[in-house]
Amino acid sequence: MPKFLLKWKVNPQMMPTNPEECMKLLQSMNEEAKSLLDSGLILDWGEYCDGSGGYTTCEGDDITELHASLIKWWPYVEFDAKPVLTIDQVIRSTGAVAEMKSK
């Protein structure tokens, strides 16, 4: 099943200016991320120590479903999602190319 690396960043222009409201929103987003981790919908989640963003990893065949899950966080969080290969996939791929070139 394809795996994705998602780098995310907080959109500071969309965050509430009231500190209490901002903390309430951030806490609700953290609780949602924890829920997604606990349910297995995401595999890993981390935040940069400066609070500007972070990363998550997930698996799935349906990129429409991935899009739908990411758009829920908009406009407060922006994402950069990339499919990634495991080391075994990279070894197979480079091995196949090397074999083709040696013929």
CA-nearest of 15, 7, 9 to 53 is 9
For the chain, the domains span: 3-102
pLDDT at 101: 80
- Please give the CATH topology (third level) of the domain spanning 3-102: Alpha-Beta Plaits (3.30.70)
Tell me the pLDDT of the chain (103 aa) as tens digits: 899 999 999 999 999 999 999 999 999 999 999 999 999 999 999 999 999 999 999 999 999 999 999 999 999 999 999 999 999 999 999 988 788 887 7
User: What predicted TM-score, i.e. pTM, was given to this entire model?
Assistant: 0.84
Torsion sign across C-alpha atoms 57, 46, 54, 85? negative
pLDDT for position 43: 97
> What's residue 85's pLDDT?
95
